[in-house]
Amino acid sequence: IKKNHILIYSKSYCPHSLRAKKLLESIHRKISEPKVFELNLMGSEGEDIQAYLLERTKQRTVPNIFIAQAHIGGADDLVNLHNAGALEPMIVSRSRIYSKINKFKKIQENTDSSFLIFLLIVIVSAIGYTIFRRSKSQQQLNLKEKM
């Protein structure tokens, strides 16, 4: 779910799944191609995925549609969004957010962990030095007051 912008869990023989796929394919050319998993063609893995989706979404039926990790619902929900004029703007706006998140994740993955450790050491050292200077200043003030 996290790796795909538009995701459809479907069954190859389901007319509702076909309707949802056609609708998304008519829009996706502008944005992102949907990733489709035909659960009935995946054997026991398809059954496991459908059980997981039921647990996660409380939806037993297909299609089970996600856009940018947000659960949309089934074909009727998708058509209602489209008829209200909300589907394409949702895909576009979520696409921008999704691409920014993916860019950040790629930067994170490519960042050398030794650099992060170095950065952490610098920050901790700066905090330690600040605490040391404050305590030193306080000691000097206490000595002046005693004199």
Contact partners, residue 4, CB within 8 Å, separation at least 6: 34, 35, 66
- Give yes or no for residue 16 having a pLDDT over 90: yes
Dump pLDDT digits (tens) for 41-55.
999 999 999 999 999
**Better-scored residue on pLDDT, 51 or 91:** 51
- Residues 66 and 122: their CA atoms lie apart, in Å, by 42
Contact partners, residue 28, CB within 8 Å, separation at least 6: 6, 34, 91
- Residues 91 and 114: their CA atoms lie apart, in Å, by 38
Mean pLDDT computed over 98-107: 58
* pTM beyond 0.85, yes or no: no
Mean pLDDT computed over 131-144: 70
Ranges of H-type helices in the chain: 15-28, 44-57, 75-83, 87-110, 113-146
